[in-house]
Amino acid sequence: MTLFLAAALLAAVSPASPDGSAVPFELDRNVILVPVRIAKHGPYLAMIDTGTDPSGIDVALAKELGLKLGVSGEIDGAGTQSVRAAETLLPEVTLGPVVARDVEALAGPSIAMIAETLGRPVRVILGKSFLDHRIVRWDFPNRVLDFPRDLPRPEPAADRAVLSCRYEDDVLVTGVRVDGKPVRAILDTGSNGAVKITPEATRRLGLEKNAAAGTASNSTGFRGSYAARKGRVESLDLGTLHVGASDATFWPPGTGHDGKPWDVNIGNAVLKDFVVTLDSVHGILVIERPK
């Protein structure tokens, strides 16, 4: 059982678009928030998080809705506490024009812990079990989320990266470079940070001094709070798209980020300036500057 979440801050929900073809979202302090209905109840405050597998629901809400709770086990993710969650199914999830049925989720105390930390009533996190096998486009400058039926494959350009990706526990992306060095990256729309770097990658990329010179910070994940260091990297390149110098979070060992099959996490502090299209149907991630 695996469930991931980066620390995030939540804001009030914008109303749905009049024609129902797209969903306005709120981006407050680099966190995406949308209204969702579960089994025709709600709306409830929800995050859209490509870094969560499968999806998550507050255990109190799961009980309110009468959802059947199955096998319980330890969850994996950011933080230092031992936290358990139970398998469940969300019988129907409605987000704007999309209705998904029998969406796998884990029900546990983690979402309530995060909600308490944030001071916002987040109840649901939609992750891989909702997003995979769809085309999802986040127009960050216009704060609109939509779900195209199909898209022609665009060509890479200076203002557009076309990257190969595959959805496993996370959205693994190829073609990313930090300080000119290739890294294994994931796309994490549940992260309000810019570039977050695992302990092993900090050493491999020779960024120990950057980490040591960074400022101390605290975040909250699915396994409670954890400490990190905030600093900078000199350059970030997403395929043909040059982002430039970027803020970076350096994760120390023992905070739930050891032994990952990837090096860096790309979050909303980077994505907020772009239109981002995740096409997990064809294994393509497009990141482009708005025209």
pLDDT per residue over 4-41, tens digit each? 333 333 222 233 333 346 899 999 888 899 999 999 99
94-149 residue pLDDT tens = 999 999 999 999 999 888 887 787 778 999 999 999 999 999 999 999 999 999 98
- Cα–Cα distance for residue pair 223/217, rounded to 1 Å: 16
CA atoms within 13 A on the CB side of 241: 23
- Cα–Cα distance for residue pair 273/288, rounded to 1 Å: 9
Region label for 244, one of left (φ > 0), alpha (ψ between -120 and 50) or beta (otherwise): left
Query: What per-residue confidence (pLDDT) applies to 112?
Result: 87
Looking at per-residue pLDDT, the higher value among 42 and 82 belongs to 42
Region label for 100, one of left (φ > 0), alpha (ψ between -120 and 50) or beta (otherwise): beta
For the chain, list the domains and their CATH numbers: 23-146 (2.40.70.10), 160-288 (2.40.70.10)
Q: Is the pLDDT of residue 291 over 90?
A: no
**Is 33 in a helix, a strand, or coil?**
strand
Over the chain, what is the mean pLDDT? 88
Cis peptide before 156 (omega within 30 of 0): no
Query: What per-residue confidence (pLDDT) applies to 9?
Result: 31
- Cα–Cα distance for residue pair 102/90, rounded to 1 Å: 5
| pTM (predicted TM-score) | 0.88
Task: Enter the tokens of residue 183.
Answer: 């890294």
- Cα–Cα distance for residue pair 78/226, rounded to 1 Å: 7
- Determine which of 11-15, 95-99, 165-169, 213-217 has the lowest per-residue pLDDT on average: 11-15
**Contacts of residue 174, Cβ cutoff 8 Å, sequence gap at least 6:** 163, 164, 165, 184, 185
